[in-house]
Structure formats: C-alpha cells, structure tokens
Homo-oligomer: A and B are copies of this chain.
Amino acid sequence: MQEIEQQATEIDFKWPLGYSAGATKSGIKQNKLDLGWLVSEVPASAAGVYTTNQFQAAPTKLTKATISADQQLQAVILNSGNANSCTGKLGKQNALKEQNMIADKLNIAPDLVGVASTGIIGKQLPMAKIEQGIDALQLSDSIAVTEAVLTTDTHPKTIAVQLDLSGKQVTISGFCKGSGMIHPNMATMLGFVTTDASVDGDYLQQLLIDETNNTFNQITVDGDTSTNDMVVLMANGMAGNVEIDDSSSEKEKFALAIHQVLAYLAKQIAEDGEGASKLVEVNVKSAATELEAKQVAKEIVGSSLVKAMLFGEDANWGRIMDAIGKTDASLDVDHVNVWLNGIQLVKNSEPATFDLQPARDSLSEHEVVIDVDLHAGNSVGTAWGCDLTYKYVQINAAYE
C-alpha cells in the first residue's frame, strides 16, 4: 500500500458532535466494565460489515438486519464476556430484548438500535444482569465504553481525527477490541466508528465495505474468523457539512480519513494480538491485481513459520518465499524480490548478497516490515499481523 496521505489531523480521543456514551459493571465479568452504549442525538446514516463465519452470532445477525433495512442507526448496546453465539432461539430473543430495552429507554424505534456482543460462545446471556445494567447506563462524554468492550486486549484502542468538509470541521472517532479473552473461546473483533459528518447511507455502506477490505480484513492474529466480528460506522450529520455521497467532490478526502481511522485501529489489533511481541507489516508490490497483492501479504503474515521466525528474530527468508508460492497469485517465478526491514534478502528468486547480522539485528525492533515484489503487474497491497510466541500458546492452552 502506498504511504497513507495524512489528510486528517489526529486529535485526543473524544466523541464527534451529538454523540454520547456510557458503561457499567453489569456483572457478566467480575468487577469489570462489561456493558456500554453509544448514542447519537439524532438518527445517523449507518453502515456495517459482519463476519463471514456461517455461525453468525444472534446480535451480529440482528444488527446486520437492522442496519441494512434503511442504513440508519441511532444507538448501539454492547457487552463483553459473553458472545451470545451458538445460543439458538433464546439467544435471538435475548438480542431482540436488548434492542427493545434500549429503544424504550431512549424513546426511539427499535430499528435504530444495534446490538454487539463478544466473549464466550455457547452460553446464554445473563439477562437479569444485563437488564439491571441497562437500567444503570447513563450518557455523558465519558469514553469508558471503549474499555467495556475489551477482553484480553492489553489496552483500549481508540483514535479520533478531524478534517474540513465544505468549510465545516468534521470529527471521526473510532474504537475497537482485538483478540483474546481471559476465559476465551476465540478471537472476536468489534469496531465502532462515529462521525458528525453528513454522509449518504448507501455511500457510507460502500465506503465501509471498501475500506474494511483494505484494513480490518487485512489483519490476522491466528487465522480464525470469529462468529461475532462486526464493524459499525455511524454518521449523524451534526457537523453541518454538505452531504457526502458517491458524486461528491470531497468523497475522496472523507474516504481517506475513514481509511486512516480504520487502518490505525486494525494495526492496533494486530499489535495487541494474543501473546504478540511484534507488529508485522507486509507490503506487496508489482502484483497483477490488488486482490492478489492483498492475498499474498495476508498469506505471509498468517504463516505460522514466518510468525515463529519473527519471534525467534531470524532472517529465515525461505519461509517467506514458501508463503508467497503457496498462493495462486500471478508472479514471475524467477524474478521475485524480498526485503526485510529494508534489507534485500531475495533477488530474482535467489539469495541476495546480504549480511546476516544486520538483518537479524533489525528483527529486534518492535515493528518488522517485509516488502515483496512479485514482478507481475502494478498493484499493491498491505497486511498486518504479529509474531507467534510462547505466550500465544499459553493464553490459548493454559488459560485456566
């Protein structure tokens, strides 16, 4: 991927105009924030992307149906500690109940309320606790909800940026959770982005799909796609800009800012992957298509052997070639080049002349960058991941 143009200015995290939020300790988890909400003063244009896992969780299905009906949303209720997944009819009823309780509390239509859950699979939500929790929820400029969504994440992941659209200052604020739980069943990813920009709902949906493909869909921690993954983007128009739609002259500017927010959050998730000690970025260039560039980049960051090699801080490039060759992407089999932290390891598919020690030394850095040239076209793609460590095995095998 090209250097991202920093069109939008990063600011300290806060909600855009017209949004407020709250969080509480409902008791799903022991003495931790585990239930929160995010509310816009007015209905917002909304877009969502959802897990491709066939066992979509009840809240994920409900939110998908709710948003896709009219591309509108005004509030989201979310919890950690329980995924409400593989929970059958009762699970669906419970997600609906949450939706209705929030609608009642805000005196808005239920189809303006999204529901998101993350946590253990196959257990029914403790509805008494959730009902009490919803009663207790309040609204303010607090950002505690960014903490209530976490599981084994080591810190909240937030970003806010500002840009100018048709002379109005627009704010975009995003937060998400990454992978792993204290009593985990699988990595679940949730992301929420709010903006006070005025944006056409259909355009917003297409933009979110496009940019998710370049960001969240290009990270991997362990190759497992959860049943609850969801990213929701809301735009309430309170900044007063001229509405952005597919024909707007400023749509590229807005899209770049959305990309900036999503890419930042995606990288944060990769960096804070279970047990991770390093953030890995793979940039593939000269691919035949963008899809193939992204495929090769993701194959490399997903390879267990590459991930273990990065943990071991060894410049064992054969594993990178192996991952490239495993794909069916077009490539010039005799002219592939690979760089590790700027040091060329492979030239024309054969060992380049390089000093092993500087290459190894560069691997002691927290961030590792792998560049690949497929010599097959003009497309580029990037993916992010982390290394494979003893701690990953420990978290997922010995977590009790």
| A contacts, CB < 8 Å to B | 52-56, 83, 85-88, 120-123, 185-187, 222-227, 302-305, 308-309, 311-312, 314, 316-319, 321-328, 331, 333-334, 336, 346, 348-351, 388-390, 392-394, 396-400
Across the interface, A86 reaches (CB within 8 A) one of B52, B122, B349, B394, namely B349
Residues of B within 8 A of A400 (CB): 312, 314
Copies per assembly = 2
- Please judge, given known A-B contacts A222-B305, A304-B396, A397-B309, whether A120 and B318 are in contact too, CB under 8 Å: yes
Task: Return the contact of A227 from the options B86, B304, B305, B321 (Cβ within 8 A).
Answer: B321
A122 in contact with B350 (CB, 8 Å):
yes
Smallest CB separation, A383 vs chain B (Å): 16
Q: Do A55 and B349 contact each other (CB < 8 Å), given the known contacts A223-B303, A317-B122? A: yes
A309 touches B396 (CB 8 A): yes
Chain B residues with CB below 8 A from A86, complex form: 318, 321, 346, 349-351
Q: Which of B87, B312, B331 contacts A398 (CB 8 A)?
A: B312
The answer on a CB contact under 8 Å between B88 and A349 is yes
Nearest CB on B from A158, distance (A): 27
The residues of B that contact A56 with a CB separation of less than 8 Å are: 325
Instruction: Tell me which residues across on chain B come within 8 A of A122, comparing CB atoms.
Output: 317-318, 321, 346, 350-351
A121 neighbours in B (Cβ, 8 Å): 318, 321-322
**Closest Cβ neighbor of A224 among chain B residues:** B305
With beta carbons under 8 angstroms apart, the residue of B308, B321, B333 that contacts A397 is: B308
Which chain B positions have C-beta within 8 A of A351?
Answer: 86, 122-123
Q: A54-B333, A312-B399, A318-B122 are in contact. Are A227 and B325 (CB under 8 A)?
A: yes
Inter-subunit contact B304/A55 (CB<8 Å): no
Chosen A-B contacts, 28 in total, with CB atoms closer than 8 Å, are: A53-B322, A54-B324, A54-B325, A54-B331, A54-B333, A55-B336, A83-B318, A86-B346, A86-B349, A86-B350, A88-B348, A88-B350, A121-B321, A121-B322, A122-B317, A122-B321, A122-B350, A186-B322, A223-B302, A226-B322, A304-B392, A308-B392, A308-B393, A309-B396, A312-B399, A314-B397, A314-B400, A388-B396
Cα(A324)–Cα(B121), bound, Å: 14
Beta-carbon contact of A85 and B54 below 8 Å: no
Chain A contact residues, majority secondary structure: loop
Q: Which residues of B contact A388 (CB under 8 A)?
A: 393, 396-397
Contacts of A324 in B (CB 8 A): 54-55
Measured between beta carbons, the chain B residues less than 8 angstroms from A323 are: 224
Q: Are B390's CB and A88's CB within 8 A?
A: no
* A86 and B322 alpha carbons, distance in the complex (Å): 10
The residues of B that contact A87 with a CB separation of less than 8 Å are 350
Taking CB atoms, residues of chain B closer than 8 Å to A309 are 396-397
**For the complex, what is the distance from the CA of A323 to the CA of B55, rounded to whole Å?**
10
CB <8 Å contact, A333 and B55: yes
Q: Which of chain B's residues have a CB closer than 8 A to the CB of A333?
A: 54-55
Chain B residue contacts of A85, Cβ below 8 A: 318
Q: Which of A54, A303, A399 has the most CB of B within 10 A?
A: A54
Closest to A322 in B: B186
Contacting A396 at CB < 8 Å: which of B226, B312, B321, B322? B312
A390 partner residues in chain B, CB cutoff 8 A: 390, 393-394
Give the CA-CA distance A351 to B323 in the complex, in Å.
37
